[in-house]
Amino acid sequence: MTPVRFSPSSLNESRWYEYLIRFALGGVATVFTGLISSRYGASVGGLFLALPAIFCASATLIEKHEIRSKREAGLSGERRGQMAAAVDSAGATLGALGMLAFAAVFWLTVERSVAGAFIAASFTWLVVSIAAWYVRRKMRSVRRAGRLRKANGPAISRSRSS
């Protein structure tokens, strides 16, 4: 199983304007949520706290980086870019479970303590997201090992009988 690691050199892959785009998108999404809340009320506005506006930008950037690095190696890289974005979106599915837990904990605790609600909800998001990711990785590696055993089974029994 691949361990989680820091790769600070990945920051060099991004151009300065890509950081600017993400900053602007984050700002616009927050302003947009505020506008929706003041126009249609807190309930409808709350939905947009989970709007995947930022995800569009990050998936596009991941695909672009993958294509760029493959082009430098003389390959097209389009399919590779799509697959990298797909892996990222699979991770986002698990992150969404964490976000659900964040919202539930915040909802239950904010009236008792505001600071406590932010800390508890953020911690819950982290724990649930990492746990979901870990369980998915474990399940995939168990399934892969099962498939390998099945594929190698007849070969092993043949080599034993000869």
Partner 1 sequence: MTEYIVRFLVGGAVVSTFAMLGDVLRPKSFAGLFGAAPSVALATLGIAVYTQGAGYAVLQSRSMMAGAIALAVYSVVVCHLLVRARLRALPATLLALAAWLPVAFLLLAIAGAQT
Residues 117-146 that bind partner 1 (CB under 8 A): 118, 121-122, 125, 129-130, 133, 136-137
Binding partner 1 (rule: CB under 8 A), the pick from 15, 17, 34, 155 is 34
Q: Give the count of alpha carbons within 13 A of 19, CB side only.
A: 7
**Whole-number Å distance between alpha carbons of 61 and 75:** 18
**Taken in order 117, 123, 124, 129, is the CA torsion positive or negative?**
positive
| Under rule CB under 8 A, residue 157 binds partner 1 | no
What three-state secondary structure class fits 15?
coil
| Under rule CB under 8 A, residue 39 binds partner 1 | no
Q: Give whichever of 70 and 118 is closer to partner 1, judged by the CB atom.
A: 118
Residues 46-85 contacting partner 1, CB under 8 A: 46-56, 58-60, 62-64, 78-79, 81-85
- Among 48, 87, 46, 82, smallest CA distance to 65 is for 82
Q: Give whichever of 86 and 156 is closer to partner 1, judged by the CB atom.
A: 86
| Under rule CB under 8 A, residue 5 binds partner 1 | yes
Q: How far is the CB of 62 from partner 1 (least distance, A)?
A: 7
The letter for the amino acid at 102 is F
**Whole-number Å distance between alpha carbons of 127 and 131:** 6
Give, rounded to a whole angstrom, the gap between the first and last alpha carbons of the chain: 34
Instruction: Name the one range near partner 1 by CB under 8 A: 68-76, 91-99, 141-149, 150-158.
Output: 91-99
Instruction: Name the one range near partner 1 by CB under 8 A: 68-76, 92-100, 142-150, 151-159.
Output: 92-100
